[in-house]
Structures are given as structure tokens and as C-alpha cells.
Amino acid sequence: MLGVITIAVYGSWYYSFGVLLDPIIEDTGWSEAVLTTSFAVASMVAGFGSLGGGWLLDRSGSRVVFAGAAVTGLLAFQVAASTESVATFAMMAAIGGGAFGALGFYHITQTAAVRISPKATTKAIAVLTIWGAFASAIYMPVSAWLVQWVGWRSTLRITTMSAVAALVVGAIVVDTRVRGRPDSSHIWTELLGSLRVSETRRFVIAQGLVGMGVGTILVYQVPAMTAAGLTLTAASFWAGFRGFAQLGGRLPLMPIVSKLGIAGSLRLAFGAIGLGALLLAFAGNPVLAASYALLAGFGIGASSPLTGMHARDVFGENSLGTAMGLLSFVFLVFGSLGPAAAGWIATSTGSRSLPVALAAMVTFAAILFVRPVSVSTNVRPLRPLE
């Protein structure tokens, strides 16, 4: 069920927005820069909300979190799909996308997976992210098909309802409540104590840089390929295949970690994302599009579970929900700067290749900040990998 929630919550807005961007512009005449900024604001709201979402998960369990995401997302996106005002659309998209992100992204589902699988936390994270690899592979081509048949408004309503249904079922069948609520002050004390460690601070910076790169890639992967010459159907297929290609970074993950370690594996993943983004900037034919999909798919696919594993070792399991909320906050808030800047650059220059190429450079820079966790310098003992 956690896997289904992950697929639906990521796919319904975070991935599908790139498919809806051009149809919304063609139908409404709204500015591309304003629309990409609305996506960026939604990511920023999700980032700030992730802090509260992770804390709420630690305090009250998954049922409250999933129910809150379902109700808020349903109401906000129904208004966004009906409005004729770009300002109303931007506000409602920020609320709906923010709720889905804050209360349903990996910082929530990975933590829930750890809580229900205490004897195999590494395997639980890896298996969950294998499910998550199907999000864009399912939602992007389906969204492209729907938008051609029923328009972007009905497509947004349909994809939203699918996510709401998954969240409602998840709220019923998944329960991570603990018998004794953790001390809130203790959670934040442990979290802030961990941030005094240099490896942890560098990891947080790396998350912000990768967030900027990945946020730009996800919004512009379809528009960049169509601008380079591919049809919307072909571009959506390769973007969806990029999501499916995330399995290439998740199925062989444990042997890679065994050989390179978690930090080394993260550096490899970030490098693959950056190289894939460079190819995306010029992906006007199937060969370059497929190469982008394979490389970026591997990198994004591997980085998601590796982030959870590294965070578990750095922050510990007791405050993992809050810690993952912090990392999601950094990833999404700093990541929101990427699509917003990309939209203005594309509008000013008339090029969609330039912002994607810049996103690649930012992602490469993140490699410099990834360091292994040192047990001797950490503020508390680390739990071994299962």
C-alpha cells in the first residue's frame, strides 16, 4: 500500500505537471513563467510542510498524515482544475501540491516502511522505492493520453482522484502509531545535534543542489524534448520510460552499496543525473532521449533509497520522520528555485535547452558535498545496516 501511495502521490502532480504545461498554455494563454513558478511555489510549500509532516508522523502515525493529504489535495486541485484565473490556479496548486508533497512523499513513506519493518529497514526502503519507480512510467503517458482526449482540466481531476483514493485506503490499512509518543523536544534536540556534524551539513547542502537540478529536469523533460523536435506523445513516452528506468538504479542497489558504500553510491547517482540532464538539453531524437532516460533514471532511482539509508545512519531511527522531513524541506524548497529560474530563463531567451544544461551543472556540484559518515565524529552511535 505504501508503494501504491508513492506511485499515485508523485505521479498525479509532481510528474504529470510537465505533461500538462503546454496544454495549459495553449488552452488558457497563461504565461509559462507564471505556471512554472506556480509549480515552484507548490514545491516550496511541500518543503516547508515536510518539516511538519515528518514531525506529525513521529507523533501521531501515518493515518492522520495520509488522511490530511487526501482531504487537502482533493479540495485544492478540484478548484485548480475549474478556475479561469491563473492566480487562483497558482494558489490552489500550491496548496494541493504542497499537501501531497508534505504528507505523501518519500520522507513519509520511507519512514513508514522502516517503522513497519524494524528488522529489515534497508530492504524496506529499497523495496518501497522499486514501487516508486513506476510513478512517472504510469502517470506521464497516461496523462498525455488523457489530455488529448479530455483536456488538461479533466486530466488533473482524474489524476488527483487516483491519489486521493490511494491515500484514503492507506489511512485505513497502514498504521505506524507507537504506544508512547516520542518527546517532541528530544526529537528536535537530537536532530539539531546531528546538524553540528560536518558530514551532515554537507549532506544537507548536497540535497539542496540536487533538488534544484531534479526539479528543473522533471518540469522540463517533456517541454525540452518537444522543443528539440519530438512530439508530445514521444516525449511523454521517454519521460515515462525515464521513470521506469529508475529500476536500473534500485534493483542492483545493494551490490553497488556493498562495493562503493552509501556515500560513493550517492556520488555515482548524482553524476548520472547530471550527465542525463546534459543529454536532455539536446534530446530531439530517440537515441538522445533514450540515453537521457537511462542515465537520469538510474541516478534518480538510486538516489531516493540512498538518501533514506544515509539519513537513517546520520540521524537515527527514533527521529527519522522529522529528519527525513528536514531533508525533504531542503530538497523541495531549494529545488523550487530551479523550475522558477528555468521558466524565466526560457521565457527571456526562448531556449529550453539552456536552463536544463544549467540544471546539469548544479547537480554535478552536489557531488563535491557528499562525504561518508564517520562514526567517530557523529554525535551518537550509528545503527548497523541490516
pLDDT tens digits along 324-377: 777 878 887 787 788 778 888 888 888 888 888 999 999 999 999 887 766 433
Cα gap 367→359, rounded to integer Å: 14
Q: For residue 14, what is the DSSP state? A: I
CA-based radius of gyration for the chain: 19
Count of positions (residues) in the chain: 386
Q: Which residue has the cell 542497489?
A: 253
Contact between 41 and 94 (Cβ < 8 Å):
yes
Amino acid letter for position 50: S
Pick from 180, 184, 187: which is nearest to 318 by CA? Answer: 187
Give the pLDDT confidence score for residue 60 in this predicted structure: 82
Q: Which residue has the higher pLDDT, 199 or 305?
A: 305
Q: Where are the domains of the chain?
A: 2-369
Query: Which pLDDT belongs to residue 377?
Result: 38
pLDDT at 342: 81
Quote the percentage of the chain above a pLDDT of 70.
88
Amino acid, res. 219: V
Q: How far is CA 193 from CA 28, 54, 286, 371, in A?
A: 49, 17, 49, 18
Q: Are 90 and 34 in contact (CB under 8 A)?
A: yes
330-369: string of b/e by CB count within 10 Å (b at 16+)? bbbbbbbbbbbbbbbbbeeeeebbebbbbbbebbbbbbeb
Grid coordinates representing 169?
A: 485506503
C-alpha distances (whole Å) from 203 to each of 49, 198, 323, 327 are 20, 9, 12, 9
Q: Is 155 exposed, middle or buried (0-12, 13-18, 19+ CB in 10 A)?
A: buried
Tell me how far apart the 2 most distant CA atoms of the chain are, in Å. 59
**What's the CA gap between 149 and 320, in Å, rounded?**
43
Orientation of helix 17-28 relative to helix 198-228, angle to 10° = 50
pLDDT at 219 over 60: yes
Q: Which candidate, 144, 133, 143, 142, places its Cα nearest to that of 297?
A: 133
* Average pLDDT of every residue of the chain: 84
Share of the chain above pLDDT 90, in %: 34
> CB neighbours of 165 closer than 8 A, spacing ≥ 6?
8
Answer whether residue 380 shows pLDDT above 50.
no
Please answer whether residues 136 and 242 qualify as being in contact, where contact means their C-beta atoms are separated by less than 8 angstroms.
yes
Superfamily of 2-369 according to CATH: MFS general substrate transporter like domains (1.20.1250.20)
Helix segments in 83-197, DSSP class H: 86-104, 106-116, 121-132, 134-173, 184-194
Higher pLDDT, 195 or 217: 217
Q: Is the pLDDT of residue 291 over 90?
A: yes
